[in-house]
A and B are shown apart, each in its own frame.
Chain A
Amino acid sequence: MQLLSVSLYDRIQMRSWTFDKILIANRGEIACRVIKTCKKMGIKTVAVHSDVDSSAVHVKMADEAVCVGPAPTNKSYLNMDAIMNAIKQTGAQAVHPGYGFLSENKEFAKRLAAEGVSFIGPDTHAIQAMGDKIESKLIAKAAKVNTIPGYDGVVKDAEEAVKIAGEIGYPVMIKASAGGGGKGMRIAWNDEETREGFRFSSQEAASSFGDDRLLIEKFIDNPRHIEIQVLADKHGNALWLNERECSIQRRNQKVVEEAPSTFLDPDTRRAMGEQAVSLAKAVKYSSAGTVEFLVDSKKNFYFLEMNTRLQVEHPITECITGLDLVQQMIRIAMGYKLQHKQSDIPINGWAIESRVYAEDPYKSFGLPSIGRLSQYQEPLDLHNVRVDSGIEEGSDISIYYDPMISKLVTYGKTREEALKKMEEALDNYVIRGVTHNIPLLREIIVHPRFVSGDISTKFLPEVYPDGFKGHMLTAGERRELLATAAALYVAAQLRSQKFLGDLRVSVVPAESRQWELCVELDKGLHMLGVSRSGNNYTVEIDGEKVEVSGEWNLASALLPLTINGKHRTLQCLLRTAAGEITLQYLGTSFKLRVLSKLAASLSKHMPEKVPEDTSSILRSPMPGSVVAVSVKPGDNVAEGQEICVIEAMKMQNSMTAAKAAKVKSVHCKAGDTVGEGDLLVELE
């Protein structure tokens, strides 16, 4: 992780009194992020961690670390008793909660207050007021914040819902007061759908939250999601730090964010900022917070909710304003007044954030994948790139926590510059061992609609109605890819003829300056002529010439090349003796096979093989006893997720799913003794 020194001009005031020690009640990248600023401010840090996280990066970075329980979050990172004990044990004076976990938990804030420990965030009143959808809307309305037209109270029954819907005008959204995450939420376009929606939503709300109170509001079709960062102190001062555009989402989760937004004009920005500040003041907010708005195509904006914590995407605001938000939060928690006036807050340049996830973007824009990062290299040698991460080479991405690998932030004087840098950064980002979403990120940031700023929260389903399929090669790109594979193949062949040292029997290398190769890509066969001079290869494909040159370091994960005069960074993910080459090109990985002309001509005789699908069947690889079965029929499992645990020789072996699927049947239970090859679980 590296902070952008260029944009952070927030100076540390060494003379002022500060906390001696802060405990960070979080894990992963946000814990690391907070520790960084603490170190900068000379504050000692305490990490808490679950047992599986005991060698995690945030634990290594902190001055002290306390284990707060086993892997499941409700037993560790959400375990208030254990965290309170950790505070006592280490003598931490303040707690930074990060985001998620206990960051918006008023109970936690109360317990800290009772122990005289500072909570680096707003006070319990603001957390509570903004945490409830109905209450927050009422407060917002009172503070003259634009709210979505709707009914301010709880809707009693279906008929009342129809009546209110008629007053607001269709379409309307029915949602649970206590809700979140899309549960208990329905959109209705007419009276019939309203009645039905009311019934379903109240049932879902009751079962999900134990609270069936519903509200109704106008449904904003095709909106943008734009949020305002605010900063308020305990003395009634508040600032708005401009907006973040977060419209690129999948399943209500943000994927790519940027600051500023291409959509806002200065007047709208100011209006949104001022309303956000007035809301913050209305709830006596202190610390950093975010006011989320939906913005329609006519630049009407409506209050959505306020997040009373540091947001995941805060780095882009830091980049354009030069403020260190964590530092500001700590200062505010110590009771200092804000250092800046509204007129001090600039928009310097443009920042883009890509959320790099361990997930398969080809399945519903991202289904989690887990595994060990066998190779991992962040593109930090590039200028104006910031990577916030909490993992390193060798780390495990486990099922217990968020599968985010990092937040990749690029910065530029202009949006174009920041986007170009993002392309480069994604191409130079080495992640091996888990499936990741770089193919999708790389496609989003070059999509004409995104580049022109024509986006909404429906961007992904609209642009990829049949799901994401990876980069579609143009004829020219296809030639570049084929040429690179051919040149790489020849470079590897030539190296395999180089033997060093004294040789008893001389080596007679095949003398060749010309190669005739056949390259297979997507079942298409291409005959290529390759000639070489030094590190430069000329590849002829269908009468067109492609020039490829580079260092051809076959050990490096990155393959920096010049292809027809253009600089490109590819990655070689696989290269086998049988000519298989997998290249990551423009973010997407492509499988190729390079064969000599002879081998290719003989390939037609090779028998067609139908691969046996063993991914749906899990068999015991050894005799042992079943210690635990973690799934039941009907469960959805992620690829690599633990299905059961077999103990053999007092060692526990975790059996995992070979693919993401639904569990069809379970053939074992805890305590069973199984033999090698016994059927354990079938997937659909």
Chain B
Amino acid sequence: MATYTVGQIPYAGALTRSKVLQNARCYSVSHLSVQERIEQKRKAALTGGGQLRIAAQHKRGKLTARERLELLLDPDSFVEYDMFVEHRCSDFGMEADHNKYPGDSVVTGQGRINGRLVYVFSQDFTVFGGSLSGAHAQKICKIMDQAMMVGAPVIGLNDSGGARIQEGVESLAGYADIFLRNVMASGVVPQISLIMGPCAGGAVYSPALTDFTFMVKDTSYLFITGPDVVKSVTNEDVTQEELGGAKTHTTVSGVAHRAFENDIDALLNLRNFFNFLPLSNKDPAPVTECHDPRDRLVPGLDTIVPFESTKAYDMLDIVHGVLDEREFFEIMPNYAKNIVVGFARMNGRTVGIVGNQPKVASGCLDINSSVKGARFVRFCDAFNIPIITFVDVPGFLPGTAQEYGGIIRHGAKLLYAFAEATVPKITVITRKAYGGAYDVMSSKHLRGDVNYAWPSAEVAVMGAKGAVQIIFRGKENQAEAEAEYVEKFANPFPAAVRGFVDDIIQPSTTRKRICRDLEVLASKKQTNPWKKHANIPL
């Protein structure tokens, strides 16, 4: 293990030292040659697959593994591990010296992001296309093991052609070793994958097991099998981009949580994102210096909910208004847009935001939005991040597509996630909270700590029209009955008189109230019954 400054080639300190050593050559030949070999190996490790391959990497619009780490981590903070590790394959000519690269096809170690500890690995596409050898996997496993012992997040920068085919089962074993650690680390330390090149075949399951998968637009791909295999098996013509590009995974499949413009953009955003996360499940949600007054009123919220309950508005307007500095790191902004999830701060403290989005599909819950919400809620709960839920939900989306797709099973995930969560849970009903969806959305009944209703809230089994058609089926005076139903239920009182909401608040005071509650709830302790693990309806 050695402290090294990334990217400084040649390493100035090392050169001077080797000069001194050269002068001493006549005294101890063997010692000198070791020193020289150390310097040589280090130099080789720092250049990876060589200048030609580096140039090719740049030409693809991609940075090298080391350049990426340099951008991701604080200056001079990277501590590299296993620079001397080489692959151990002796078949197909791999044993030849020119086929050995010190450090092999991955750079690993630990460093700091804004001063906070993080373990990292960065796959080096210039060495055997970043393919995963036994040694490569072993290096990743080493830092993951240590990250779990220390309690610090793991960030993987993926850029790999896949398994090292020459190594056969050794490579497969390597993947499995990583998968196992991904699973063991899950819920212990945050794990983030940033896909910065190809990631195909079995390799995709490591990012899939981590908490967040981000992609770089146009230069990264994730798929089980590439377009050629797809063509031969299913006779489909599809491009790499269509099959597994950033757009596909952030809008259609929901595999990736966000995509960024290019390597630099992605790494700078990742630094920003890292600041929201605690180091491990033993740490509280981080609190940073906040310039936004915690008791700031948000006058715009008093008029945001339209009078007609069928008219849409943008839930993000509410979310932005309430948060510190309007800063919201949205997760999956282009997938299942009828629910909004993401990270933000309230009075400097990280919070998770969940909100129905009336602007898209009326903010209903469907299969995709339930799964999106559920996974986010579980992450927050695992890592001590309080959850703030904004509710305006007309119900679950009806229809055969949803029923056949298993909305019952998938909707249950969100219900399950909110119910099992023991972190502080604050809920604000802005307008509709109808039917089963009301129960699901972090209701009082699922151990919501503080549940608020705005004056525009309507907590009911369903909308007035539908309710009246059932209650007064076949009767005349439907309009009158509807008015009566509206009078009775289309307001926050039925829930408030029963204590299902703790207070009816002026919308403009929402930020102030939440900041105050978060302070009180910071010491919340709640445990679920002992179990080996729960059985979420997957």
Q: Which residues does A use to contact B, with CB under 8 Å?
A: 51, 54-55, 372-376, 392-395, 495-501, 503-505, 507-510, 512, 553-556, 577-579, 595, 598-599, 602-603, 605-607, 609, 621-622, 648-654
Given A394-B303, A501-B287, A505-B116; A555-B317 close (CB under 8 Å): no
Nearest Cβ distance between residue A571 and chain B, in whole angstroms?
Answer: 14
Can you list 21 A-B pairs, Cβ within 8 angstroms, ordered by A? A51-B307, A55-B302, A393-B300, A394-B301, A395-B300, A496-B114, A500-B287, A501-B287, A503-B283, A504-B279, A504-B282, A508-B74, A510-B74, A577-B268, A602-B263, A603-B264, A605-B62, A607-B218, A649-B362, A652-B312, A653-B359
Is the pair A578, B268 in contact by a Cβ cutoff of 8 Å?
A: yes
Q: Which of B70, B288, B303, B362 contacts A499 (CB 8 A)?
A: B288
A59 to chain B, nearest CB (A): 10
* Beta-carbon contact of B321 and A374 below 8 Å: yes
Interfacial chain B residues near A503, Cβ < 8 Å: 283
Is B468 on the interface with A (CB-CB < 8 A)? no
Distance, CA A599 to CA B362, complexed state (A): 42
Closest partner residue, chain A, to B272 (CB atom): A577
Contact A651 B310 (CB under 8 A): yes
Complex contacts, B299 vs chain A, CB 8 Å: 392-394
Q: A599-B264, A605-B61, A606-B264 are in contact. Are A496 and B275 (CB under 8 A)?
A: yes
Residue of A nearest to B273 (CB): A577
Contact A508 B300 (CB under 8 A): no
User: Does B367 have its Cβ within 8 Å of any Cβ on chain A?
Assistant: no
Instruction: Give 1 or 0 for each of B178-220: 1 = CB within 8 Å of chain A CB.
Output: 0000000000000000000000000000000000000001110
B76 at the interface (CB under 8 A from A): yes
Q: Are B268 and A599 in contact (CB under 8 A)?
A: yes
Is the CB–CB distance between B112 and A609 below 8 Å?
A: no
The residues of A that contact B157 with a CB separation of less than 8 Å are none
Smallest beta-carbon distance A74→chain B, Å: 21
With contact pairs A372-B317, A505-B152, A578-B264 given, residues A652 and B310 touching in the complex (Cβ less than 8 Å): yes
By a CB distance below 8 angstroms, the chain B residues around A497 are: 114-115
- The stretch that binds A, out of B226-234, B289-297, B383-391, B445-453, is B289-297
Bound CA span A300–B104, Å: 89
> When the two chains form their complex, are residues A622 and B360 in contact, meaning their CB atoms are under 8 A apart?
yes
Which B residues are CB-close (under 8 A) to A577?
268-269, 271-273
Residue of B112, B279, B284, B359 near A501 (CB, 8 A) is B284
B394 beta carbon closer than 8 Å to chain A? yes
Taking a contact as CB atoms under 8 Å apart, the answer to whether B279 and A505 are in contact is yes
Contact B262 A606 (CB under 8 A): yes
Given contacts A578-B265, A599-B71, A649-B361, contact A394 B300 (CB under 8 A): yes
The answer to whether B71 and A650 have CB atoms under 8 Å apart is no
Query: Which of A500, A501, A650 is the one whose CB lies under 8 Å from B362?
Result: A650
Beyond A496-B114, A607-B61: 12 further Cβ-contacts under 8 Å?
A: A495-B289, A499-B288, A501-B287, A510-B75, A510-B76, A510-B115, A578-B261, A649-B394, A651-B311, A651-B312, A652-B310, A653-B312
In whole angstroms, what is the CA distance A342 to B231 when docked?
92
Is A500 in contact with B268, judged by CB distance below 8 angstroms?
A: no
Q: Which residues of A contact B61 (CB under 8 A)?
A: 605-607
Q: 0/1 per residue, B391-425, Cβ < 8 Å to A?
A: 00010010000000000000000000000000000
Considering only CB atoms, which chain B residue lies closest to A676 in the complex?
Answer: B361
Structural contact, B268 and A508, CB atoms closer than 8 A = no
Q: A505-B117, A505-B150 are in contact. Are A373 and B312 (CB under 8 A)?
A: no
Interface size counted on chain B using CB atoms at 8 A:
75
Bound-state CA distance A54–B302 (Å) is 12
Which residues of A have CB within 8 Å of B359? 653
Say yes or no: is B103 at the interface (Cβ < 8 Å to chain A): no
Interface membership of B151, Cβ < 8 A: yes
Main secondary structure of the interface of A (DSSP, over half): loop
With both chains docked as a complex, state the minimum distance between the C-beta of A561 and any C-beta of chain B, in angstroms.
15
With a cutoff of 8 Å between Cβ atoms, the chain B residues found around residue A54 in the complex are 307
User: B482 within 8 Å of A by Cβ?
Assistant: no
Task: Out of A374, A394, A504, A579, name the residue touching B283 (CB < 8 Å).
Answer: A504
Which chain B residue lies CB-closest to A605? B58
A395 to B75, CA, bound (A): 46
Docked CA distance A504–B117 (Å) = 11
Cα-based distance from A556 to B272 in the complex (angstroms): 20
Tell me the minimal C-beta distance from A499 to chain B in angstroms.
6
Alpha-carbon gap, A334 to B62, bound state (A): 78
Q: What separation, in Å, do the CA atoms of A392 and B299 have in the docked complex?
A: 8
- Could you tell me if B268 and A607 are in contact, using CB atoms closer than 8 angstroms? no
B70, A508: Cβ atoms closer than 8 Å: no
> Taking the nearest CB of chain B, how far is it from the CB of A232, in angstroms?
40
Query: In the complex, are the beta carbons of A373 and B300 less than 8 A apart?
Result: yes
Give bound CA distance, A579 to B261, whole Å.
13
Kindly list the 8 A-B residue pairs having the minimum CB-CB distance in the complex, ordered from nearest: A394-B300, A577-B272, A607-B61, A555-B292, A555-B291, A507-B115, A649-B362, A509-B115
- Tell yes or no: B245 within 8 A of A by CB: no
CB-nearest residue of chain B relative to A393? B300
The CA-CA distance from A553 to B283 in the complex, in Å, is 28
Residues in B whose Cβ lies below 8 Å from that of A602? 63, 67, 71, 263-264
CB distance from B67 to the nearest CB of A (A): 6
Residues on B with C-beta less than 8 A from A373 are: 300
Chain A residues near B298: list those with CB within 8 A: 393
Q: Is A554 in contact with B325, judged by CB distance below 8 angstroms? A: yes
Asked if B342 is an interface residue, CB under 8 A from chain A, the answer is: no
Our pick among B71, B76, B219 for the contact of A607 (Cβ within 8 Å) is B219
- For the complex, give the distance between the alpha carbons of A648 and B398 in Å: 12
Cβ of B88 within 8 Å of any chain A Cβ, yes or no, is no
- Given A510-B77, A609-B261, do A649 and B284 touch, yes or no (CB 8 Å)? no
Q: Which residues of B contact A578 (CB under 8 A)?
A: 260-261, 264-265, 268-269
Interface membership of chain B positions 29-48, coded 1 if the CB is closer than 8 angstroms to chain A and 0 otherwise: 00000000000000000000
- Of A500, A599, A651, which contacts B289 at CB under 8 A? A500
Compute how far the CA of A54 lies from the CA of B293 in the bound complex, rounded to whole angstroms.
Answer: 30
Q: Is the CB of A55 within 8 A of B303?
A: yes
Verify A622–B361 contact, CB threshold 8 A: yes
Bound CA–CA A69/B180 (angstroms): 66
Instruction: Convert B47-64 into 0s and 1s, putting 1 for each residue whose CB lies closer than 8 angstroms to a CB of A.
Output: 000000000001001110
Please indicate the chain B residues that have their CB under 8 angstroms from the CB of A501 in the complex: 284, 286-287
When C-beta atoms are compared, the residue in chain B nearest to A606 turns out to be B262
B307 — nearest CB in chain A belongs to which residue?
A54
Q: Are A651 and B279 CB-contacts (below 8 A) given A374-B320, A554-B291, A605-B63?
A: no
Task: Name the B residues within 8 Å of A392 (CB-CB).
Answer: 299-300
CB of B364 within 8 Å of the partner chain: yes
The smallest C-beta distance from A502 to any residue of chain B, in angstroms, reads 8
A55-B303, A496-B114, A649-B361 known; A609 vs B218 contact (CB < 8 Å) = yes
Chain B residues with CB under 8 A of A555: 290-293, 324-325
Is the CB of B102 closer than 8 A to any CB of chain A?
A: no
Instruction: Report chain B residues within 8 Å CB of A509.
Output: 74, 114-115
B residues in contact with A579, CB < 8 Å: 268
Contact between A498 and B289, CB atoms less than 8 A apart: yes
| Contact of B358 with A by CB under 8 A | yes
Complex Cα distance A579/B264, Å? 10
Residues from chain B with a CB closer than 8 A to the CB of A651 are 310-312, 358, 362, 394
Report A645 CB to chain B, min CB distance, Å.
Answer: 10
Q: Mark B70-107, 1 if CB is under 8 A from A, else 0.
A: 11001111000000000000000000000000000000
Please, which residues of chain B bring their CB within 8 A of the CB of A598? 70-71, 75
Chain A residues in 8 Å Cβ range of B492: none
Partner of B151, one of A504, A510, A622, A653: A504
B317 / chain A contacts, CB cutoff of 8 Å: 372, 374
CB distance from A28 to the nearest CB of B (A): 15
The answer to whether A553 touches B115, judged by C-beta atoms less than 8 angstroms apart, is no
Contacts A394-B300, A577-B272, A652-B310; A606 near B263 (Cβ below 8 A): yes
**Alpha-carbon distance between A495 and B263 when the two chains are bound, in angstroms:** 24
Q: Using a CB-CB cutoff of 8 Å, which residues 231-273 of chain B contact chain A? A: 260-265, 268-269, 271-273
B426 smallest CB distance to A (angstroms): 20
> A622 contacts which chain B residues (CB < 8 A)?
360-361
